Amino acid sequence: MAENGHKEHPKYMNIFYWLAALTAIEVAVAIPEYATVLKAILLIGLACGKAILVANYFMHLKFEKRTLAIIVLTPFIICVFLVIMLMPDLTLDARLDGIEKPAAEVVDTSSH
């Protein structure tokens, strides 16, 4: 039995404990109110850690060819790029709105 093909089974229960612990930490990190940027960095970091654990051990990516792992990583990079590409379009508008609108109102009230 042992010699046929699948020799090393990762210790799945250890991965499970890690995932459960990381989920608990995530919730603990998310509930209190503090700096949004710090919270975002912590939460995204934890989520990526969990995703890597699932992909590497449950999906056996760690034991596949390296090229496959690189292919699998591509869409994640493209998605980050997509967010960066979309961001200026939307946030710049919002910022300009924030700056211009009060100014326009001030002009309006003074002219009337």
Partner 1 sequence: MEHATTLDHTEDVYEPSLTPDSLGKLGMWIFLVGDTMSFGALLAAYAALRAGAGIVGWVPPDEILGINLTAAMTFLLICSSVTMVKALESIQNGNVSRMCLFLGLTIAGGIIFLGLQAYEWTHLIKHGLTLTGIPEHGLKSATISGSTLFGPTFYAITGFHGLHVTGGVIYLIVILIHGLRGRYTAEFNHEVEIVGLYWHFVDLIWIMVFTFIYLL
* Cβ-count burial 62-82 (b if 16+ within 10 Å, e if not): eeeeeeeeeeeeeeeeeeeee
Based on the shown chain and the rule CB under 8 A, indicate whether residue 1 belongs to the binding site for partner 1.
Answer: yes
Check: CB of residue 68 under 8 Å from CB of residue 47: no
Binding positions for partner 1, 87-106, rule CB under 8 A:
87, 89-91, 93-94, 98
* 14 touches partner 1 by CB under 8 A: no
32 binds partner 1 (CB under 8 A): no
CB nearer partner 1, residue 47 or residue 107: 47
